[in-house]
Chain A
Amino acid sequence: TQLLEQSPQFLSIQEGENLTVYCNSSSVFSSLQWYRQEPGEGPVLLVTVVTGGEVKKLKRLTFQFGDARKDSSLHITAAQPGDTGLYLCAADNNAGNMLTFGGGTRLMVKP
């Protein structure tokens, strides 16, 4: 079983639509990160959330860390084709010395 469960696994939408991606766990984390990976490249960090209930915005992307620090969401407003990619959430393992990734959400935004 994965430490971090992401949903949905796949999402195909039209340009201009809104979407939300979820990252859930039964574990409590000191911090949680979101990465985006484009085909043929490595993941790139989008944001790190640290405080329970924290909300961070990155242009049209809004990230929220759950109050109990067990889950997080990523909301994209007015999606664009350039948002297409694999979105990964990641958090410390229990020992705090390794990063564990969720299974990812593959997003495709059609023009």
Chain B
Amino acid sequence: DTAVSQTPKYLVTQMGNDKSIKCEQNLGHDTMYWYKQDSKKFLKIMFSYNNKELIINETVPNRFSPKSPDKAHLNLHINSLELGDSAVYFCASSRDLSGGAYEQFFGPGTRLTVL
């Protein structure tokens, strides 16, 4: 059974389009995250979210928005895609919103390519 799953695995799209990436976790965790990993493999937090609060990394453009229909899902919507948005996006979950106190379980990633 996959703990954290993401769809699609690959996403190729044109500049200016709007796209979504879905994430689901079956671990019963309260907190989910979105990360962006650039071509140099630098992994950067974008959002932390649980049923109490959304924490946004201040460097994330407001074209990016997380949407959580329920505790097991955290989808990432991106509007007006730009070339610089090309990266691998990882969803993750953990038991609680405490940063490094708990293990984070990562999904397999979604490779987004903006042409």
Residues of A within 8 A of B (CB): 29-33, 37, 40-45, 48, 86, 88, 90-93, 95-101, 103-104, 106
What are the 6 A-B residue pairs with the smallest beta carbon separation, nearest first?
A42-B106, A92-B99, A101-B43, A92-B100, A45-B103, A31-B100
- Assembly CA distance A48 to B104 (angstroms): 11
Given contacts A29-B100, A42-B90, A42-B92, A98 and B55 within 8 Å (CB-CB): yes
Residues of A within 8 A of B104 (CB): 43, 45, 99
Q: Name, among A86, A96, A99, the residue most crowded by chain B CB atoms within 10 Å (CB to CB).
A: A99
What number of B residues sit within 8 Å (CB to CB) of A?
Answer: 25
**Do B100 and A43 touch (CB < 8 A)?**
no
- Assembly CA distance A99 to B33 (angstroms): 10
B45 at the interface (CB under 8 A from A): yes
B4 at the interface (CB under 8 A from A): yes
- Assembly CA distance A5 to B72 (angstroms): 33
**Do B42 and A103 touch (CB < 8 A)?**
yes
